[in-house]
Structure 1
Amino acid sequence: MGTPVGVVGDDGLADVLRDAGVAVERGRDGSVPDTDRIVAVGEDAVASVARADGDPLVLPVAAGRGVRSVPRADAADAVSALADARVETHPVLRVAMSDGTVEQAFWDVTLVTADAARISEFTVASTTDRIGQFRADGVVIATAAGSPGYAHRVGGPILAPSKQAVIAPIAPFATDPDHWVLPVAGLSASVERDEATVELLVDDRVSRTVSYGESVTISLGSPVRTAVVDQSQSRFE
């Protein structure tokens, strides 16, 4: 049966692969198997693999447009083709807070007001320049993988895999807001008004609140390698 393939996010698919003759190691209770190849089913599973230690080759299955994902029905054939897969490399965001807390995001990082109909003010900067300051419900910083998601719904472009990020205001006060595409390393976002509770979301998980004057700094973490096979779908369709 060969070297085991880890499966995260779908026990039913693990059974399908095993019935097809694939040696399988399941991820349990959110854990990521210590295998060289991992089938990650769904966006949450891909993000879990990105946060884990190790450098497996990841086959995304039913994981949205952000990565070249394989339909669930084609997963067994795709696993059989992994030996000949092309590899795409996706950056991971290392998100550092002022208290020393560090988290990792594969898709995006968002600062957003916790209460509906409340607005705050945000600054986005790089290591060399202040990029923009604006009043809005929030701001999203998305990797290329995350760019087809929420960042695109609020007006950002879709990026090919790269070490760049999309920065997009959420419901800005301005009628013609800017959006930016910038290198990931050295970005920061801060809260400029003490008017509303602002939450930090890391891949849609609420991490903590961000106080007035507090800054969230972003750098590059260890990248994720994803497999591209004949069954992989386009990111742009």
Structure 2
Amino acid sequence: MADEADGTMRVGVVGDDASDAAAALTAAGAQPVVDDPATVLDAAPDAVVAVGEAGLLALVRRRPSVPVLPVDGGAGVRSVPAGRLDAAAGRLVDGDWTTERHPLLSVDADAGGGSLALYDAMAVTSEPAHISEFTVTAGDERVARFRADGLVVATPAGTRGYARAAGAPVIPPSAGVLAIVPVAPFATTLDHWVVPESTVSVTVERDDASVDVLADDRSVGVATVDDPVTVDTDGTVECVRLQEGQSPFAGPGRELEKL
């Protein structure tokens, strides 16, 4: 929390390259707390700056209860490019910002407890060019049965990542939906789907190779035949929205033209 004696804003900083963010916050009049996510959150900051995608994901897995400002974390979370840190730090300290909430996914591959994901969950064959057969349901409705190398279930933030490369539309965070996209499907006419936030169940009907399950950047288990993998929406993370942040609708490395 802010220092009660002088009103200084306390801002946590996590990530492998946190020095520039800490310097920008100090110059803006904040008190940076630089450490690993658990230690930073224990210090009860007013907000946390997460540098890099790995730093952001490590922080999110701790379920922060304070706003998070992503830096170089991807357009899906409106992250601030490192080159705009000074201006962003000034706005953060001045209170010139809003927030938006991003849904989290709990990915359960073996009924042993879910692993959190901010961007996406994937089920994909462990060997290239080995097709498996999948059945996907959302809530109580069957979505499809198809043959493919795998599939990705993406949050709106994740639709700017691998899901987009596989053909998903870009979805804003307030939409309340998930995108489901086959990976290298056997049929070229196969649909992609947008479904309401709900429990998505993925069942491997048959496999030519083992099917790995991933939550964001981590392998979290193996999907076996007839044993469903469940993907549930499980809480949210609150991200800082600044004018220096990247729009989810801008192309990679580009900004939207101002009207």
TM-score, scaled relative to structure 1: 0.93
What runs of 5+ residues in structure 2 fail to find an aligned partner? Answer: 1-5, 251-259
Q: What is aligned with 1:79?
A: 89
How far apart, CA to CA, are the structure 2 residues paired with 1:88 and 1:15? 23
Match of 1:173 among 159, 163, 186: 186
**Segments ≥4 residues shifted beyond 4 Å:** none
Moved more, 91-100 or 159-168: 91-100
How far apart, CA to CA, are the structure 2 residues paired with 1:187 and 1:32? 34
**Compared CA separation, residues 138 and 227, structure 1 to 2 (3 A):** same
| Percent identity for Structure 1 against Structure 2 | 39
**Compared CA separation, residues 84 and 72, structure 1 to 2 (3 A):** same
CA-to-aligned-CA distance 1:192-237 (integer Å, 9 cap, x gap): 1042110001102111211111111122212111111221221111
Match of 2:213 among 187, 191, 200: 200
- What is the number of equivalent residue pairs in this alignment? 236
Read off the aligned partner of 2:198 and give its amino acid letter. A
In the TM superposition, what is the alpha-carbon distance from 1:18 to its structure 2 partner? 5.3
Read off the aligned partner of 1:3 and give its amino acid letter. M
Whether the 8 Å CA contact 1:194–1:212 is kept in 2: the answer is yes
In the TM superposition, what is the alpha-carbon distance from 1:103 to its structure 2 partner? 0.8
Whether the 8 Å CA contact 1:17–1:24 is kept in 2: the answer is no
Read off the aligned partner of 1:177 and give its amino acid letter. L
Q: What SS does structure 2 have at the residue aligned with 1:73?
A: helix
Query: Is 1:4 aligned to residue 29 of structure 2?
Result: no
Moved more, 8-17 or 200-209: 8-17
**Compared CA separation, residues 208 and 96, structure 1 to 2 (3 A):** closer
Q: What is aligned with 2:40?
A: 33
CA-to-aligned-CA distance 1:116-168 (integer Å, 9 cap, x gap): 12111111102221100110000000000000111110111110113211100
Read off the aligned partner of 2:136 and give its amino acid letter. V
Q: What is aligned with 2:257?
A: none
What runs of 5+ residues in structure 1 fail to find an aligned partner? Answer: none
TM-score, scaled relative to structure 2: 0.85
How far apart, CA to CA, are the structure 2 residues paired with 1:121 and 1:22? 53
In the TM superposition, what is the alpha-carbon distance from 1:15 to its structure 2 partner? 4.1
**Compared CA separation, residues 68 and 18, structure 1 to 2 (3 A):** closer
Counting only pairs closer than 5 Å after superposition, residues 64-103 of structure 1 correspond to structure 2 as: 64-82=74-92, 83-103=95-115
Match of 1:155 among 167, 171, 180: 167
Read off the aligned partner of 1:105 and give its amino acid letter. A
**Compared CA separation, residues 32 and 47, structure 1 to 2 (3 A):** farther
How far apart, CA to CA, are the structure 2 residues paired with 1:180 and 1:137? 17
Q: What SS does structure 2 have at the residue aligned with 1:165?
A: strand
Counting only pairs closer than 5 Å after superposition, residues 221-236 of structure 1 correspond to structure 2 as: 221-236=234-249
In the TM superposition, what is the alpha-carbon distance from 1:182 to its structure 2 partner? 0.6
Whether the 8 Å CA contact 2:109–2:213 is kept in 1: the answer is no
**Compared CA separation, residues 168 and 119, structure 1 to 2 (3 A):** same
Instruction: Tell me the C-alpha RMSD between the 2 structures.
Output: 1.7
Which structure has greater helix proportion?
Answer: 2
Q: What SS does structure 1 have at the residue aligned with 2:181?
A: strand
CA-to-aligned-CA distance 1:74-127 (integer Å, 9 cap, x gap): 223212212121111110012223432211100000000001121111111022
Query: Is 1:138 aligned to residue 147 of structure 2?
Result: no
How far apart, CA to CA, are the structure 2 residues paired with 1:18 and 1:90? 24
